[in-house]
Structure 1
């Protein structure tokens, strides 16, 4: 049952992010970079709860699309959004709002909010 729910939510997310031509994972990584320019891959991995190798692949694709740049100083890598990415901010926020609206339509408050909070708490416990 949880697998079916995950697949359906992923489909909704893909449909919501389609207008900017990004997968949900790429979009969330880009949003994190826009929120915190210079963020490191390790911080991105923790924030997005993804493996470092996955973060590397996502960053490569965003670099190809000219949406981020990586700088390296010694062992430190920092990730910055490009001007092209900054121009996408209104569209990114519209996609995010669309996704939240779709989720809310399926599970309206208060049940939907309670469900999301419970899922977040469970995810946090699984991390420990």
Structure 2
């Protein structure tokens, strides 16, 4: 059994997925205060920073397909957190007043999550994130 674990732990694919699952679990726990998953919270935060953003740009920022972004926006619109405004062929996305009020909870959840990371990995979080982003960007160039 330890041979299998050692083999898997030497595999970038396995290890990055394991990290993603663990971080995802922590994030889900911290985001319970918002009533949203972390990804939905990211989407709201993006719109909060850029009111009138188009769906395509949200998809590019989150590295998600248009159909996934559409489903997310539909759900957030049904919760009265976002609204779409048609402009030509595009739908511009805006926060509702309820969506704007949700941002404080989202910010608190992010802060809680970052504090939790820091307790575990120390103050090297920024360095680790920078390295993961460099690797992600290099791999992204190859898989496009």
Q: Tell me, yes or no, if structure 1 residue 95 matches structure 2 residue 109.
A: yes
Post-superposition CA distance 1:37-93 (Å, at most 9, x none): 001111101111111111111111101110000111221111000000111221111
User: Rg larger in 1 or in 2?
Assistant: 2
SS of 2:36's equivalent in the other structure is: coil
SS of 1:37's equivalent in the other structure is: coil
- The match for 2:93 is 79
Q: Tell me, yes or no, if structure 1 residue 60 matches structure 2 residue 74.
A: yes
Unaligned runs of 5+ in 2: 1-14
With normalisation by structure 1, the TM-score equals 0.93
- The match for 1:29 is 43
- The match for 2:131 is 118
Unaligned runs of 5+ in 1: none
Structure 1 Cα separation of the partners of residues 18 and 91 of structure 2:
37
Q: Across the two proteins, how many residue pairs are aligned to each other?
A: 127
With normalisation by structure 2, the TM-score equals 0.83
Tell me which of the two structures has the higher relative contact order, counting C-alpha pairs closer than 8 angstroms and 6 or more residues apart: 1
Task: Identify the match of residue 3 of structure 1 among 12, 17, 34.
Answer: 17
